[in-house]
Amino acid sequence: MSLREELQGLPPAKLAVEDVSKWFRTSRQTVHALDHISLDINEGEFVCLVGPSGCGKSTLLDIIAGLATPDEGRVMADNEPVLSPGRHRLVMFQEAALFPWLDVTGNVMFGLKLKPGLKNKERREVAKFFLHLVGLEKFAAAHVHELSGGMKQRVALARALAPNPRVLLMDEPFAALDALTREQLYSDIQRIWEKRRKTIVFVTHNVREAVCLADRVILFSRNPGRIREQFDIPLPRPRDINSIELAEYAGKITRALKGHSEEEPAEE
């Protein structure tokens, strides 16, 4: 347990990002993506990472997932170092990446291959439960090409939740959707989070989206990515992205984002 946790009486962090730095090197240039990132994320917390393009948000998500390795520092999950991908930390990307040769149920069942020991009947029952959770039980036998963009993302969410990961990592999963579909999914993800209480780390460029969803918004500076500020969001759920109260928090964070962008020129 860290000194901060001992002093504040907080439970151990579900995730601990400890002084992580990352560079990308090619024969032509070196890009400093992350610079000494330290961050604790507690059990059941919903955290959104916000910042300008190229600030390393998605890179940090990949490192937490075990898909990339930091050049300095480390990530701890449940007091164990993250050295590779694992079924306890699953990623939901911007694209649904569903298998077109499988129906909706088959796509969700595919994710359950990560859970050893389940019989096919049990996998089907689990898939049915999570399709009900995302409101797609009537489309269980539908094929991918028959689904709208929002429905595909619901299937992807059900597939990510079905193996019961401890941490769900979401990389701009709603960015490609229209405004009305996004608003419906904001309601859905809040409802599902309140039922399941998963630890969620969510990357977005959309400040209002972050305020609508998160317990805490982490503001990154631009390249190289550094944590500049953190904002607690104490608004009650469910939250309406169009509410005045939410807009006030979003405005405060947007002003801070613009201020930091003006202060810090990007590294060459």
Tell me: pLDDT of 232 over 90.
yes
pLDDT at position 52:
87
Q: pLDDT by residue (tens digit) across 99-120?
A: 999 999 999 998 787 676 778 8
pLDDT over 90 percentage in the chain: 55
C-alpha dist (Å) from residue 260 to 34, 63, 207, 229, 232: 16, 24, 15, 10, 18
Tell me: pLDDT of 21 over 90.
yes
- Report the relative pairing of strands 216-220 and 227-232 from DSSP bridges: antiparallel
pLDDT at position 243:
95
The three-class DSSP label of residue 259 is: helix
pLDDT at position 259:
78
Token pair belonging to 138? 């009537």
Question: What is the full DSSP assignment across 104-159?
Answer: HHHHHHHHGGGSTT--HHHHHHHHHHHHHHTT-GGGTT-BGGGS-HHHHHHHHHHH
Across 155-180, average pLDDT: 89
Higher pLDDT, 12 or 174: 174
Which DSSP letter does residue 53 get? T
Packing angle, helices 104-111 and 120-133, rounded to 10:
110
Q: Which of 226, 212, 210 is nearest to 261 (CA)?
A: 226
pLDDT confidence of 12, banded at 50, 70, 90? low
Question: What is the full DSSP assignment across 155-186?
Answer: HHHHHHHTT--SEEEEESTTTTS-HHHHHHHH
Q: Taking a C-beta distance cutoff of 8 angstroms, is the pair 155, 104 a contact?
A: yes
Per-residue burial over 210-229, b if 16 or more Cβ lie within 10 Å, else e, is: bbbbbbbbbbbbbbbbbbbb
pLDDT at position 119:
82
Question: What would you measure as the largest C-alpha separation in the chain, in angstroms?
Answer: 58
Q: Residue 111 forms beta bridges with which residues?
A: none
pLDDT confidence of 2, banded at 50, 70, 90? very low
Across 212-218, average pLDDT: 96
pLDDT at position 6:
42
pLDDT confidence of 1, banded at 50, 70, 90? very low
Name the amino acid, one letter, at 188: D
pLDDT at position 4:
44
pLDDT at position 261:
62
- Give me the phi and psi of 23, to 5 degrees please: -120, 150
Q: pLDDT by residue (tens digit) across 52-78?
A: 888 889 999 999 999 999 999 999 998
Packing angle, helices 179-196 and 149-161, rounded to 10:
20
Across 208-235, average pLDDT: 94
Higher pLDDT, 228 or 27: 228
Higher pLDDT, 128 or 111: 128
For the chain, what are the domain ranges? 3-88+166-263, 97-164
Token pair belonging to 6? 């001992």
pLDDT confidence of 265, banded at 50, 70, 90? low
CA distance 67 to 82: 10
CATH architecture type of domain 3-88+166-263 = 3-Layer(aba) Sandwich (3.40)
C-alpha dist (Å) from residue 105 to 49, 130, 155, 168: 31, 10, 9, 20
Write the CB contacts of 205 (distance below 8 Å, at least 6 apart in sequence).
Answer: 50, 51, 52, 53, 172, 175
CA-CA-CA-CA torsion sign (170, 175, 177, 179): positive
Tell me: pLDDT of 151 over 60.
yes
pLDDT at position 223:
79
